[in-house]
């Protein structure tokens, strides 16, 4: 095992990684921007290094500064967390050239799966279902029109380098295809320096289902079942749960096996997530993308499987074997995570940073809270607005929802606005309770609210 690692991240995930490292007897080095000098991850780590100014480009995204801190502190490895540099293959390559272990997959896997066109090519080759569409990149409007005519409208135009909803456009006819293609191309070029575009049939009323995988460097690879992340707004997940409440066991088995086949084909190791869209009527599913990192919502999988994903990431990066076989992994109960963001849901989710005078989290049976917040903590305006994850685990979904309802009543955060009231509504929403929702549910719900 490593002697010392650097955590190239902030917030709750930095704490999550410090806790896992400490339980493995690994020393931790925190890095922080001047906006985070009072942050819990700085206090909780064994050492800390200030790496720059609040803007992420000058601190958490600044590769030379992070590598310098790693070299000065003489660490064996770097954990990137999620966001920032977690899916940056160039960063993983720099780590490798500096003989610092990157706690994540190989550079080759990141490149292969990070490009959506090469990822989907690999998927087709291994019989992983992909939505009908172009098999390679789209060069111009004429080839786009041909593909669209074959598969039928609506279609979705996506950036090969995109992800998380950036650089995509839905087109319902040839006119919107023409403009959508141009927009997606220029957006992709601006955002990723890569204008490569592909086209797919737009799956309507879909659910977002993803499979957690975990592989080691010896060729062992397992899945940890699925998560349902259908409840999202503008590609930001708000509620995540495991298992998916509406999936039958045959579909589940096919879905999880597909995820394992794809990752095996990519010689994947570390934690990864294979995202699918599912059509709830036909029980069909289609690959969307692979996230080559730890995800925000990993705790729901940890709770139903009893597996500590972050500790295993470290063991795997250090060359240890997985130590668990597929048939030993038995999901137990139901887990639901609610993202508490410093945003005002009554005001179009405007970010609401500032000082938290009172931070009074719930507790009791079945509750896990992952947060870096405390009384007097100042939420900086520079980073994403998630300030806590409230997670419940109970024998059944109904019981997990009941636990969350009472936990949300206990949870006091003053005076900043948060998504707590929205979650209190959602946990009593009939469609959420029946799970008759799709990825557009929140947008529709908010539209209705505006009208009354």
| Residues noted as catalytic | 293
The closest of 63, 437, 113, 82 to 246, measured between CA atoms, is: 437
Min dist CB 397 to ligand MV4, Å, is: 22
Min dist CB 440 to ligand MV4, Å, is: 6
Gap between the Cα atoms of 75 and 200, Å rounded? 44
Residue from the set 206, 260, 274, 316 that interacts with ligand MV4 by CB under 6 A = 206
Residue from the set 123, 156, 242, 335 that interacts with ligand MV4 by CB under 6 A = 156
Range 5-44, binding ligand MV4 (CB under 6 A): none
Cross-strand partners of 5: 28, 77
Rg, Å, the chain Cα set: 22
DSSP states of 55-112: SGGGTTT-HHHHHHHHHHHT-SEEE--SSTTTT-HHHHHHHHHTT-EESSS-HHHHHH
Site string for ligand MV4, 107-146 (x = CB under 6 A): ------------------------x---------------
Min dist CB 366 to ligand MV4, Å, is: 29
Min dist CB 203 to ligand MV4, Å, is: 4
Torsion, CA 318, CA 321, CA 323, CA 329, rounded to 10:
90
Q: What phi and psi values does residue 389 have, to the nearest 5 degrees? A: -120, 125
Site string for ligand MV4, 321-360 (x = CB under 6 A): ----------------------------------------
Nearer to ligand MV4, 162 or 366 (CB): 162
Each residue of 146-181: b (16+ CB within 10 Å) or e? ebbeebeebbbbbbbbbbeeebbbebeeeebbeebb
Min dist CB 329 to ligand MV4, Å, is: 26
Min dist CB 364 to ligand MV4, Å, is: 33
Nearer to ligand MV4, 33 or 232 (CB): 232
165 part of the interface to ligand MV4, by CB under 6 A: yes
Nearer to ligand MV4, 43 or 205 (CB): 205
Range 221-280, binding ligand MV4 (CB under 6 A): 232, 235, 275, 277
Nearer to ligand MV4, 274 or 392 (CB): 274
Min dist CB 290 to ligand MV4, Å, is: 10
116-125 and 107-114 helices, crossing angle to 10°: 90
Residue from the set 221, 439, 442, 445 that interacts with ligand MV4 by CB under 6 A = 439
Residue from the set 289, 297, 302, 343 that interacts with ligand MV4 by CB under 6 A = 289
Site string for ligand MV4, 175-204 (x = CB under 6 A): -------------------------xxxx-
Cβ(391)–Cβ(300) below 8 Å: yes
The closest of 31, 26, 33, 27 to 70, measured between CA atoms, is: 31
Cis peptide before 154 (omega within 30 of 0): yes
438 part of the interface to ligand MV4, by CB under 6 A: no
DSSP states of 324-358: --GGG----SEEEEEEEESEEGGGTTEE--EE-SE
Distances (CA, A) of 81 to 7, 65, 331, 371: 7, 17, 25, 14
Q: Which residues bind ligand MV4 (CB under 6 A)?
A: 131, 156, 164-165, 170, 200-203, 206, 208, 232, 235, 275, 277, 288-289, 439
């Amino acid at each position: 095992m490593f002697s010392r690692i650097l955590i190239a991240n902030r917030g709750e995930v930095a704490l999550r990684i410090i806790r896992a490292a400490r339980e493995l007897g690994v020393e931790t080095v925190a890095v922080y921007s001047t906006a985070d000098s009072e942050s819990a991850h700085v206090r909780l780590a064994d050492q800390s290094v200030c790496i720059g100014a609040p803007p992420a480009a000058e601190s958490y995204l600044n590769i030379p500064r992070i590598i310098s801190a790693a070299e000065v502190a003489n660490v064996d490895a770097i954990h990137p967390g999620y966001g920032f540099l977690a899916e940056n293959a160039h960063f993983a390559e720099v780590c490798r050239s500096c003989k610092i272990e990157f706690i994540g997959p190989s550079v080759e896997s990141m490149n292969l799966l990070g490009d959506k066109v090469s990822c989907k090519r690999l998927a087709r080759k291994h019989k992983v279902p992909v939505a009908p569409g172009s098999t390679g990149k789209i060069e111009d409007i004429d080839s786009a029109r041909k593909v669209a005519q074959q598969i039928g409208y609506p279609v979705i135009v996506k950036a090969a380098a995109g992800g998380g909803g950036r650089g995509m456009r839905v087109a319902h006819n040839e006119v919107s295809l023409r403009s959508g293609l141009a927009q997606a191309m220029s957006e992709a070029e601006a955002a990723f320096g890569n204008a490569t575009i592909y086209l797919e049939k737009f799956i309507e009323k879909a659910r977002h289902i993803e499979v957690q995988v975990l592989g080691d460097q010896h060729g062992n690879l397992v899945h940890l079942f699925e998560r349902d992340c259908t409840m999202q707004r503008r590609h930001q997940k708000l509620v995540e749960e495991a298992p998916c409440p509406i999936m039958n066991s045959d579909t589940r088995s096919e879905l999880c096996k597909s995820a394992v086949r794809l990752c095996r084909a990519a010689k994947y190791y570390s934690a990864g997530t294979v995202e699918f869209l599912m059509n709830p009527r036909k029980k069909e599913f289609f690959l969307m993308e692979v996230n080559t990192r730890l995800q925000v919502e990993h705790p729901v999988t940890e709770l139903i499987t009893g597996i500590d994903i972050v500790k295993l990431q470290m063991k795997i990066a250090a060359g240890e074997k997985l130590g668990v076989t597929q048939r030993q992994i038995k999901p137990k109960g139901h887990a639901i995570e609610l993202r508490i963001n410093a945003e005002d849901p009554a005001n179009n989710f405007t970010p609401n940073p500032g000082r938290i005078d009172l931070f009074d989290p719930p507790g009791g049976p079945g509750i896990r809270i992952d947060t870096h917040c405390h009384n007097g903590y100042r939420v900086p305006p520079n980073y994403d607005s998630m300030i806590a994850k409230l997670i419940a685990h109970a024998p059944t979904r109904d019981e997990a929802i009941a636990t969350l309802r009472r936990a949300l009543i206990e949870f006091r955060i003053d005076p900043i606005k948060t998504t707590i009231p929205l979650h209190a509504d959602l946990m009593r929403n009939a469609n959420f309770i029946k799970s008759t929702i799709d990825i557009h549910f929140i947008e529709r719900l908010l539209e209705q609210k505006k009208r009354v």
